[in-house]
A and B are shown apart, each in its own frame.
Chain A
């Protein structure tokens, strides 16, 4: 943002102060993530930069923590990663199906008690997680689902659906309902219309809602802490235990992998958002 030539000096100074503040805030936001990356290649067991690393000595860097993460004896990461992916995938599928169908109903103009129902549907997002954790734990304990994969998947469906409902409802708000009427008038049954007409049009919204649901489940630790037994350990639980007991560089190796994963998800989500905006004809 270049200043016009005629700007008075003291506004110019203000402008540079403003830019400096912005720079500092961006640094504060993003820098912590980049600390993890180099330290995960540390050859030593310390969580600070060794003198060798500061002078970029190749011997000071190694992949030993990545090896430890994958091959280490008694290491929990393999099981945790497997569980995390299984749980997140099923939770995403569940959230997407339930959430999309509900969003279709919600965006119909015939829907009665819309406000109240919407409030119930997005309540898991509003209620503090710790309370959701306690409530869901009580339910799962009564239903005999505590410490099972099913229980955790159901819990994550509860937490994930609000995101799907919100993104899909937003996509449907710009949806031209006359195309479904056109399909119906041409003899298509509702299911066929949905699969052939509606779904392809709202797909970006569905997928980005699904991504939210996936990340919510993959990242979720509060509710899982109440629900999980030893068998159902997930990556967040292992991270949590590791961070509480002893900060080892292996955790940083895992963290680096997670950052890479979230970068991929971010890129996908952004591409989808832009595509969706293009499809809906919103030009910002």
Chain B
């Protein structure tokens, strides 16, 4: 007998399999339609803009569009010696058009980013170009300023020909493309971004370690105390968690200031002299202390929820089998808490690495992080493409951490609250 004759039909004569598939598809569509509003809202307002950041960070069309003919003429130029007349003529044509549109200032700013010294010679060229005669532009342009006769400057222009650039990313790592087109690092004393990346990692790492060391004992206490005490103590964890970040930062500013309570206390117990109060704010110490306290609940809660599920009889069993309490703890209890440790550390590290408000308020110059630099470029220098590039570098770092975490511990093992 063939399988077709065995086919089961529904009452209206459609094969059951088909009918089921249809119902299944209908359910799928229904479920998807429920998710769709939020999904599309987020894709439009959030996911695309992050893509837009990527585009902005590599976009370098401005100069490409300002000097289209020049770059076309330059295609055959090998960059060894000064380009020929046709390049100069094309450049002149592009330039006259820019002057007409009053955009030559933008060109000079852009080219100045690539090589210093363009600003003045473009200004000069604009003035002189009014009295240019037709033909032989090479001679005429070169006579405006000796730098126009310098092949280095023409190479610098050619470097701006591509529509896309990795320059902002290199800048974020204190590197740049030098005259020969090689990627090199900037001088040692100007490597501000590398210092910032390292400091961000360092602060995030130590804040995570401090949080872990402080959260482990109290999470254990909360998980083992009888309910009526632990509920009360839990408030000590939850109240800071629900309190405004700015309020908590403000309280640290009061505590840590030079005439503040912590310093008063140190003077009171004779640890430091009254006239020699240490600076505890506007430096790394401030960032460490405030960030540890603010992020501590994010470590306690996952640890607590994992420890809550560990039966106390396991420790008793360990001890009854001859282990000292320490051995029982280390061999039995601790390994069971690893999912909680992983979740807590991941949360705290990722929150710390992107921290902005607290370091900006209590960190001073030596305690600020990469986020502060991003905000600085967004608000002060308005170099949005650079801010985007740095933001995406930070984001990819965060995603790599998630990926690693998923590989090592498994994201499903995360337990929150």
Contacts and interface: CB of A to CB of B under 8 A. Distances in A.
Interface of A: 1, 11, 18-19, 21-22, 25-26, 28-30, 32-33, 35-36, 39, 46-49, 98-99, 101-102, 104-106, 108, 110-112, 117, 120-121, 123-124, 126-139, 154, 157-158, 161, 165-166, 215, 218-219, 221-222, 225-226, 236, 239-240, 243-244, 247, 251-252, 255, 258-259, 262-263, 265-266, 269-270, 284
Residue of A110, A128, A259 with highest tally of chain B CB at under 10 A: A128
A33 B378 CA distance: 32
A284 to B, nearest CB: 7
A136 B350 contact: no
Contact of A22 (B217, B238, B360, B398): B217
Interface of B: 24, 27-28, 30-39, 41-50, 52-53, 56, 214-215, 217-218, 221, 224-225, 233, 235-240, 242-255, 257, 259-261, 264, 293, 296-297, 308, 325, 350-351, 353-354, 356-357, 360-361, 371, 374-375, 378-379, 384, 387-388, 391-392, 394-395, 398, 402, 416
B250 A255 contact: yes
30 contacts: A1-B221, A1-B224, A11-B325, A18-B221, A25-B215, A26-B218, A33-B243, A101-B37, A105-B31, A110-B31, A120-B47, A121-B39, A123-B46, A126-B402, A130-B375, A130-B394, A131-B50, A133-B378, A134-B387, A135-B52, A138-B49, A139-B46, A157-B41, A158-B45, A226-B379, A240-B357, A252-B254, A262-B239, A263-B242, A270-B238
Contacts of B388: 134
A47 B257 contact: yes
Given A135-B49, A139-B48, A262-B239, 19 more contacts: A25-B215, A32-B293, A47-B260, A101-B38, A102-B37, A112-B32, A120-B39, A127-B398, A128-B350, A128-B353, A128-B395, A130-B354, A134-B391, A215-B242, A219-B246, A243-B250, A244-B361, A255-B250, A258-B244
A49 B262 CA distance: 12
Contact of B251 (A35, A49, A137, A166): A35
A204 B387 CA distance: 41
B308 A128 contact: no
Main secondary structure of the interface of B (DSSP, over half): helix
A1 B225 contact: yes
Given A33-B251, A35-B255, A102 B28 contact: no
B34 A255 contact: no
Nearest to B233: A26
A99 B38 contact: yes
Contacts of A166: 416
A167 to B, nearest CB: 9
Contact of A128 (B37, B245, B371, B379): B371
A237 B279 CA distance: 27
Contacts of B35: 101-102, 105-106, 111, 117, 121
Contacts of A215: 242
Contact of A258 (B52, B243, B293, B394): B243
A79 to B, nearest CB: 17
A49 B265 CA distance: 12
Nearest to A104: B34
B243 A259 contact: yes
Contacts of A259: 243, 247
A130 B248 contact: no
A131 B391 contact: yes
Residue of B36, B37, B46 with highest tally of chain A CB at under 10 A: B46
A243 B28 CA distance: 51
Contacts of B361: 240, 243-244
